[in-house]
Chains A and B, each alone.
Chain A
């Protein structure tokens, strides 16, 4: 199978149209299962009580905010290195969903922080670096749209995305590098300190958000392709 075949916007447009509804369906099923496990099956936390259930959105959203930025920066690097149109369009398609998950992580974190820490917001290293990530997403979107020629916008935004990657290890290791109010990781590749049903609920939600992100990125890239290729023969023939 020749994967370069799908590097063309016209062929990728059709492939994305087939894959996107399946991604949304998988996201809906996994999301429903995750909510059931998280809100019904998982036991009440001995220390935090019921409010800990916010983690079933907060942690997967925070993971997605960082992961989507990394993928967006990879597409940005690809578009700068190989001058590929589709990679730049994919980077643009991922940014709003990444910004949305960053906002969700910050919002749910605030509503978890108030009953557990006594404050909606503190200028903690983890929270502040996550806020910087939200501004990086906004900057990427704004810079990409600031140019009349979309290809120039793509290059400028890709450069910003690559510079902003430095913020990702800062977010991840902030709880180790500084004395923060935010707790350390409960889940790592070495194991977890959580109850199995709590972990199951969180992973189900993480995969649901992952599938949703792929679905929205594919759906959005189809619109971007339509806008940019609207004067081509294949779009006219749609």
Chain B
């Protein structure tokens, strides 16, 4: 019996969720830094 489908679905999904987590981490950090930058700009305007 060929089990390639089950092995690929397992390894493929694991790679996908790890890639998604790393992308989400980077996005989250970029958002946090942008927010700090915006607040700094607002303070400078005041």
Q: Are A219 and B32 in contact (CB under 8 A)?
A: no
Q: Are A108 and B36 in contact (CB under 8 A)?
A: no
Q: Are A57 and B25 in contact (CB under 8 A)?
A: no
User: How far does the alpha carbon of A90 sit from the alpha carbon of B27 in the complex, in Å?
Assistant: 19
- Number of A-B residue pairs at CB separation under 8 A: 71
| Set B10, B32, B40: member contacting A57, Cβ < 8 A | B10
List B residues 1-41 near A (Cβ within 8 Å). Answer: 1, 3-4, 6-7, 9-11, 13-14, 17-18, 21-22, 24-25, 28-29, 32-33, 35-36, 39-40
List A residues 82-139 near B (Cβ within 8 Å). Answer: 96-97, 100, 103-104, 107-108, 111-112, 114-115
Q: Are A223 and B6 in contact (CB under 8 A)?
A: no
Q: Are B17 and A49 in contact (CB under 8 A)?
A: no
Q: Are A51 and B6 in contact (CB under 8 A)?
A: yes
| Set A54, A226, A230: member contacting B10, Cβ < 8 A | A54
How many whole Å from A226's CB to the nearest CB in chain B?
A: 4
> 5 pairs across A/B with beta carbons < 8 Å?
A104-B14, A108-B14, A216-B25, A230-B32, A238-B36
How many whole Å from A38's CB to the nearest CB in chain B?
A: 10
Interface residues on chain A, number (Cβ under 8 Å): 32
CB-CB < 8 A to A216: which residues of B?
21-22, 25
Q: Are B6 and A231 in contact (CB under 8 A)?
A: no
Q: Are A100 and B17 in contact (CB under 8 A)?
A: yes
| Set A61, A100, A230: member contacting B39, Cβ < 8 A | A230
Q: Are A112 and B6 in contact (CB under 8 A)?
A: yes
Given A103-B17, A226-B33, A227-B35, do A57 and B6 touch, yes or no (CB 8 Å)?
A: no
Q: Are A108 and B21 in contact (CB under 8 A)?
A: no
Annotate A13-52 by CB proximity to B: 1 below 8 A, 0 otherwise: 0000000000000000000000000000000000001110
User: How far does the alpha carbon of A238 sit from the alpha carbon of B34 in the complex, in Å?
Assistant: 12
* Residue among B9, B17, B25 facing the most chain A CB atoms (10 A cut-off): B25
Q: Are B6 and A235 in contact (CB under 8 A)?
A: no
User: How far does the alpha carbon of A57 sit from the alpha carbon of B4 in the complex, in Å?
Assistant: 15
Given A100-B21, A108-B13, do A219 and B29 touch, yes or no (CB 8 Å)?
A: yes
* Residue among B22, B29, B32, B39 facing the most chain A CB atoms (10 A cut-off): B32
How many whole Å from B14's CB to the nearest CB in chain A?
A: 5
| 10 A-B pairs with the lowest CB-CB distances in the bound complex, closest first | A51-B3, A108-B10, A226-B32, A111-B6, A223-B29, A54-B10, A111-B10, A50-B3, A111-B9, A230-B36
